[in-house]
Structure 1
Amino acid sequence: MNLVRSELLKIRTTSTWWIFGLITLPLWALTALINWLQTDALANSDFGEMSADQEAQIEASRAVESLAANVYTNGQFFGLLIVMLLGIIVVTSEFFHQTVTTTFLTVPHRTAVMVAKLVAAAVVAMLFWLATTVLNLIFGALVMSSVDLGSQLGSGAVWRATALNGLAYLLWSVLGVGLGVLIRSQIGATVTGILLYLGGAVGAAIAIGILANRWGDWINDLQVLVPSLASSLMVSGTDIPGNPPRWAGAAVLIGYAVVAGAIGALTMRRRDIS
């Protein structure tokens, strides 16, 4: 516990956490506006004639459970990126400020230091999730009422999506710490993390769509292997036809986090830090 408190103190006594907090708020507001417009369009628009597969996907997306889960997990896309970057900085700041040698001289058990950093990053990630969840409960109730669907706060799908959203925040903080251990340069790890996250969300989605048109719809199931897409999948209120099941997204993300944490711990134990 002393090690965890020490790591939390390092975070709390720097400007990093509140700078990321200030960045998170406008990004949350932007996605809130987009989700409001999207919810209104799905709830009230007539999409005309379309193929049977497209109609099934639209109907699943405009289901009350799916709409509610989407607005009550608002801000996830940028929120997960923020907590991943915080996880990276928890590790790389030690190398950037050249305090890592002092840390390991004080606490020679490197695995314990790694675990403390993982726990500290997870605690901060949970605080970010809690803050955005409070905002979402207010915002989501207003949006759902505006489209005459009620708040849906009594729906199990809403609370399940909210809890899985918290799990996603936790797992992405672990992924950030693991990446920070592998790439000790703060700038290098940050840029790599952003490229992997955004590239995975946008680039992989485009590539999978192109390949699916050429080789068949089974290619769409591969999107679950992309961490940023798996995160979105796991908080959907209902299973969308043509997409992998929600539990698969959670399982894949947990697998990535376990591997990242294990590799990070082994790397920190064996790597020369002089």
Structure 2
Amino acid sequence: MSLVNASRSELTKQFTTAIWWVLGLVLLVYVGSTAGGLAATFGALATGALGGDAVSGPALPTEMLPPVIYSLATAVGYVFPLLIGTLLVTNEFRHKTLTPTFLATPRRGIALGGKVVAGILMGLLYAVVALVATVGLGGGLLAVFGIDTALGSAETWAMIGRMVIAFVLWALVGIAVGTLVRNQVAAVVGVLAFTQFIEPILRTVGGFVEGVSGITEYLPGAASDALVGASIYSSLGGETAAVGLHWWAGGLVLLGYAVVLLVIGYAVSWRRDVS
């Protein structure tokens, strides 16, 4: 079977289950409510509609609001392409459908390549959903409060393009994790534990302990924020701002995670016998 046919087969598997649209819907609601709530709050602060004289000004300068609101797509939504990539592989192990997959595609590299192509397309799809939530809803609410949405700026569109790349890379990291960790429960729990607890704690420590930030900036979430070029966490002072990787370096670090984990997973897990 060719890579094209393998990719078509993987997409057919993906879209015949409900998990892709369930995760997409949760992504839309979660990121949209976060972006909308923060855009309304910061917009009200900027116009004096919230707090009146008791509030001295917005928590962020108005020119910083559009990139911070738009980047919520990756800052809080990156776990969704990561999960869909992980599930794309681990579902095969859980439901024991990998044997017919390998019978249809005996060349396991082609079979894995089909999943990579499917992951790239799912990453693009989820990026569109997340951007509808942040740029559409968040940007719309900024406009309601009279704040420039910066959508006429080439820099804003370059950032949006980098967010799309980040979503694709996160989907590839998820595929790599799923290839390496065959047990679906262990893979999903591990992904959630690392992204929602371990890395945030390490990055918070890095923002206050001298010398640690030089290490934590190479964590996958920090690399993703560097690639995008904006994050609410650094903007609100949770980390040392303006110190970190260049956007291209952040992209290379995140790509490196995907490639290294995928190679290891292929070598130690994907080539093993399946029942």
Contact map agreement 1:87 1:177 (CA 8 A) in 2? yes
| 1:37-186 map, 5 Å | 37=40, 39-40=42-43, 43=46, 46=56, 62=61, 64=63, 66-186=64-184
- 1:9 is aligned to 12
Aligned pair partner of 2:191 in 184, 190, 193: 193
Counterpart residue identity of residue 35, structure 1: L
Greater helix share, structure number? 1
Instruction: Evaluate the alpha carbon distance shift between residue 73 and residue 99 of structure 1 in structure 2; reply closer, same or farther with a 3 A threshold.
Output: same
Work out the CA distance in 1 between the residues paired with 2:141 and 2:199.
26
Counterpart residue identity of residue 251, structure 1: L
Count of matched residue pairs: 257
- 2:228 is aligned to 235
Contact map agreement 1:223 1:230 (CA 8 A) in 2? no
Deviation at 1:205, TM superposition (A): 1.9
Moved more, 122-131 or 145-154: 145-154
Aligned pair partner of 2:217 in 190, 201, 224: 224
Instruction: Evaluate the alpha carbon distance shift between residue 142 and residue 106 of structure 1 in structure 2; reply closer, same or farther with a 3 A threshold.
Output: closer
Instruction: Evaluate the alpha carbon distance shift between residue 63 and residue 251 of structure 1 in structure 2; reply closer, same or farther with a 3 A threshold.
Output: farther
Counterpart residue identity of residue 33, structure 2: L
Deviation at 1:70, TM superposition (A): 1.9
1:19 aligns with 2:12: no
Deviation at 1:29, TM superposition (A): 2.6
Counterpart residue identity of residue 61, structure 2: R
Instruction: Evaluate the alpha carbon distance shift between residue 67 and residue 233 of structure 1 in structure 2; reply closer, same or farther with a 3 A threshold.
Output: farther
Contact map agreement 2:79 2:195 (CA 8 A) in 1? yes
Instruction: Evaluate the alpha carbon distance shift between residue 107 and residue 15 of structure 1 in structure 2; reply closer, same or farther with a 3 A threshold.
Output: same
Deviations 1:128-185 (A, max 9, x none): 1112223433224323324533221111221111111111110111111111111111
Instruction: Evaluate the alpha carbon distance shift between residue 253 and residue 259 of structure 1 in structure 2; reply closer, same or farther with a 3 A threshold.
Output: same
Question: TM-score, normalization: structure 1?
Answer: 0.83
Contact map agreement 1:114 1:268 (CA 8 A) in 2? no
Instruction: Evaluate the alpha carbon distance shift between residue 33 and residue 145 of structure 1 in structure 2; reply closer, same or farther with a 3 A threshold.
Output: closer
Deviation at 1:259, TM superposition (A): 1.4
Work out the CA distance in 2 between the residues paired with 1:46 and 1:264.
53
- 2:52 is aligned to none
1:244 aligns with 2:237: no
> Kindly, what percent of the aligned residue pairs are identical?
30
Work out the CA distance in 1 between the residues paired with 2:261 and 2:120.
14
Aligned pair partner of 1:32 in 32, 35, 39: 35
Deviations 1:46-98 (A, max 9, x none): 479xxxxxxxxx8xx6372x422222233323421111111111111111111
Q: 5+ unaligned residues in a row in structure 2: which ranges?
A: 48-54, 236-240
Work out the CA distance in 2 between the residues paired with 1:226 and 1:40.
32
Instruction: Evaluate the alpha carbon distance shift between residue 227 and residue 34 of structure 1 in structure 2; reply closer, same or farther with a 3 A threshold.
Output: farther
Deviation at 1:43, TM superposition (A): 4.9
Instruction: Evaluate the alpha carbon distance shift between residue 42 and residue 117 of structure 1 in structure 2; reply closer, same or farther with a 3 A threshold.
Output: farther
- 1:270 is aligned to 271
Q: 5+ unaligned residues in a row in structure 1: which ranges?
A: 49-57
Contact map agreement 2:179 2:269 (CA 8 A) in 1? yes
